[in-house]
Chains A and B, each alone.
Chain A
Amino acid sequence: MLLSTLVFGLVLGGSYALIAMGLSLQYGIARIMNLAYGEVMICAAFAAMLLFNVAGLSPLLSLVLLVPAGWAISWGIYQVMMRPLVARSGTTGRLEVDSILATFGLLFVVQGVLLVLFGGNFQSYAFLGQGVNVLGTQVALNRLIAFGLSVLIGGGLYLALTHSRWGLALRAVALSPGSAPLVGIEVNRVARAGFALGGALAVAGGVVLSMYQTFSATMGVIYTMKALVIVIMGGVGNLLGALIAGLLLGLIETFVSVYIDPGLTLAATYGLFLVILLWRPQGLFGGAK
């Protein structure tokens, strides 16, 4: 029981980490607090389900199709919706409030569209549900694949960001958008890339999660909430922090759901958030400000 809970927690935590990394990129680099983030994820989950049920496409292949689409759509959203807000705010710090409001509106639009298309019921599809023996416990193959994908995508992205010129530019803007132009970085382009990359990660997270979890049209809010808590926990803009915090939240939720009550998982998330706020608002891994 303990071991299987641990494995399930890690699998869930891996997906959470992936999702949170995307939100962290959007907020850290583009300075957009995207409240419609979870909706992007849920859209990807529905798309993966449709491709699987209608076209018989494995979610692994859908991932290859959908992630670039997620990038492109987020790129477009930034260009059409966010860019004017960025331009309008200038240096006044209005962007935070404006982006919160604009994406709050977007949340309802996307959720409304999903409700019209798919209704409000929980959905899932049967992909590689057979059990595999891991350290003496039965784990569904889809969960293992999901975990592997999370590690692969999350870890790969982390390495790319820390070891490439391109990653350096992204991190420079995250640290100091004011001085990045001094070293020849075009902030607008980098911000757009950061937002698009975050969207691509949301899609990856959505597809990965849909392999083993049920989802519904109105669930995006909860995932946005969880991703936000993980980002705060890990320290805003700290990708490694988001990774660790994501795993931690997955474990805590799974343990609460197995040993206490499945109805209390969001309460557990909030409890954790509250502890962070009272104890270390700069994040578990951030330095003191």
Chain B
Amino acid sequence: MTGSLIALAVLALVACGPYILDAYGIGLLIGAVSYTILASAWAMFSGPTRYISLATVAFYGTGAYTVAVLSEALPWPLVLVSAAVIGGVLALLVGLSTLRLAGIYFVIFSFGLAELIRQLITWFEVSVSGTLGRYIFLELEPRHVLWQLLALAAVVVLITGWIHRSRIGLALKVIGDDETVAAHAGINLARTKLILFVLSSVLITLVGAIQSPRWVYVEPGIVFNPQVSFLTVIMALLGGATKRWGPVLGAVPLFLLFEWLSARFPDHFSILLGLLFIGVVFLLPDGVLAAIEKLRKKKEARA
């Protein structure tokens, strides 16, 4: 409870950012908040279930592309609702076909999903609508984007708090410990995973939709950038995907580091990213928070 309140207070504080910061600063805040939500939403599903989703950008890009297609036809709130619905339906289809099977099927499916959607949209745009690339003209300034993202972040805080206290939270903890016991205690594994996956995917889709006006020009190759999936996973893992505040802890510092790296070494960014990722998997397999906890336990045992 206190955790949620503190988080909401921090979000309110960040909302004052546009009154002090310049455009570059606001841009940084938008990026940091985006990735915080992405990593939290990713960990919401993949943390307890250990089903590694490599499809973050599939949903993120779908959100952005929905805006590109619908932004002139519908009022903004309805565009967001449409994006959420499309992301949710997509997640439902993916989940229904993979989540009743072993985790590996889900990983494989998610691995190529973004590429599939990218190619499908490209095919559709080239051969049906005849235009590759669209413009997003919206009366939204960066600070509006930031505030909407903060509102979404507040929703994420409330949802995770609710999950924590609800039956589905207990079900997830049990699934994370032992799926066989979970099933024999009456927990419907496939349905629990499906609910979480859809919820997580809708949040990711909304992040893509809300921050899409920042691009102005959108085409499949831009919005389905695999680095987004990659960054999300590494952030969540670094902080600790099973800890409630782990993803936040991973997202903010890593986003700033990546910003600096990509400006400094634009050509070698992907290599550095990969090496960093491998380092995290090897050195901090359960995240920073779990590592700290372990250290503290060791100290206590010695004392």
A contact residues vs B (CB 8 Å cutoff): 33, 35, 81, 84-85, 88, 96-98, 100-102, 104-113, 115-116, 221-222, 224-225, 228-229, 232, 261, 263-264, 266-267, 269-270, 273-274, 277-278, 281
Residues of A within 8 A of B258 (CB): none
- Are A225 and B111 in contact, with the CB atoms below 8 A? yes
Contact string against A for B residues 85-103, beta-carbon threshold 8 Å, 1 for contact and 0 otherwise = 0000000000001100101
- Are B122 and A263 in contact, with the CB atoms below 8 A? yes
- Are A277 and B105 in contact, with the CB atoms below 8 A? yes
- A170 CA to B295 CA, complexed, in Å: 41
Q: Is B183 an interface residue (CB 8 A)?
A: no
Q: Is B275 an interface residue (CB 8 A)?
A: yes
- Are B104 and A96 in contact, with the CB atoms below 8 A? yes
B contact residues vs A (CB 8 Å cutoff): 50, 52, 54, 97-98, 101, 103-105, 107-109, 111-112, 115-116, 119-120, 122-123, 126-127, 226, 230, 233, 237, 267-278, 281-282, 285
Q: Please give the distance in Å from A254's CB to the nearest CB on chain B.
A: 17
A101 in complex: contacting residue of B52, B104, B272, CB < 8 Å = B52
- Are B52 and A228 in contact, with the CB atoms below 8 A? no
Residues of B within 8 A of A88 (CB): 285
- Are A104 and B282 in contact, with the CB atoms below 8 A? no
Q: Please give the distance in Å from B258's CB to the nearest CB on chain A.
A: 12
- A116 CA to B270 CA, complexed, in Å: 10
Contacts beyond the supplied A108-B230, A270-B116: 11 A-B pairs with Cβ under 8 Å: A33-B104, A81-B278, A97-B50, A104-B233, A105-B276, A106-B274, A108-B273, A111-B274, A112-B274, A222-B115, A277-B109
Residues of A within 8 A of B50 (CB): 97
- Are A264 and B123 in contact, with the CB atoms below 8 A? yes
- A105 CA to B4 CA, complexed, in Å: 33
Residues of A within 8 A of B277 (CB): 101, 104-105, 108
Residues of A within 8 A of B274 (CB): 105-112
Residues of A within 8 A of B270 (CB): 108-109, 111-112, 115
- A221 CA to B271 CA, complexed, in Å: 16
Dominant secondary structure at the A interface:
helix
The 29 sampled A-B contact pairs (Cβ below 8 Å) are A33-B107, A96-B103, A96-B104, A97-B50, A97-B103, A100-B52, A101-B277, A102-B281, A105-B275, A105-B277, A105-B278, A107-B274, A108-B270, A108-B273, A109-B270, A109-B271, A112-B270, A112-B272, A115-B270, A116-B271, A221-B111, A221-B226, A261-B127, A263-B123, A264-B119, A269-B112, A277-B98, A277-B101, A281-B105
- A174 CA to B2 CA, complexed, in Å: 51
- Are B109 and A104 in contact, with the CB atoms below 8 A? no
Residue among A33, A109, A111, A269 facing the most chain B CB atoms (10 A cut-off): A109
- A77 CA to B146 CA, complexed, in Å: 43
- A104 CA to B126 CA, complexed, in Å: 31
- Are A102 and B115 in contact, with the CB atoms below 8 A? no
Q: Please give the distance in Å from A113's CB to the nearest CB on chain B.
A: 6
B112 in complex: contacting residue of A102, A109, A112, A221, CB < 8 Å = A221
Residues of A within 8 A of B233 (CB): 101, 104
B97 in complex: contacting residue of A84, A107, A278, CB < 8 Å = A278
Knowing A101-B277, A104-B233, A111-B270, the reply to whether A266 touches B115 (Cβ < 8 A) is: yes
- A273 CA to B111 CA, complexed, in Å: 13
Q: Please give the distance in Å from A263's CB to the nearest CB on chain B.
A: 4
Give me the 8 closest cross-chain CB pairs, A-B, nearest first: A112-B270, A109-B274, A108-B274, A105-B277, A112-B271, A263-B123, A225-B112, A105-B278
Closest to B54 in A: A104
- A88 CA to B284 CA, complexed, in Å: 12
- Are B123 and A261 in contact, with the CB atoms below 8 A? yes
Residue among B127, B269, B275, B277 facing the most chain A CB atoms (10 A cut-off): B277
- A107 CA to B270 CA, complexed, in Å: 10
Q: Please give the distance in Å from A242's CB to the nearest CB on chain B.
A: 14
Q: Please give the distance in Å from B209's CB to the nearest CB on chain A.
A: 24
Residues of A within 8 A of B119 (CB): 263-264, 266-267
Residues of A within 8 A of B108 (CB): 225, 228-229, 232, 273
- Are B278 and A106 in contact, with the CB atoms below 8 A? yes
- Are B275 and A263 in contact, with the CB atoms below 8 A? no
- Are B116 and A266 in contact, with the CB atoms below 8 A? yes
Q: Please give the distance in Å from B249's CB to the nearest CB on chain A.
A: 18
Residues of B within 8 A of A85 (CB): 281-282
Residues of B within 8 A of A101 (CB): 52, 233, 237, 277, 281
Closest to B126 in A: A263
Residues of B within 8 A of A96 (CB): 103-104
- Are A112 and B269 in contact, with the CB atoms below 8 A? yes
- Are A277 and B97 in contact, with the CB atoms below 8 A? yes
- A229 CA to B115 CA, complexed, in Å: 14
Closest to B113 in A: A270
- A183 CA to B36 CA, complexed, in Å: 51
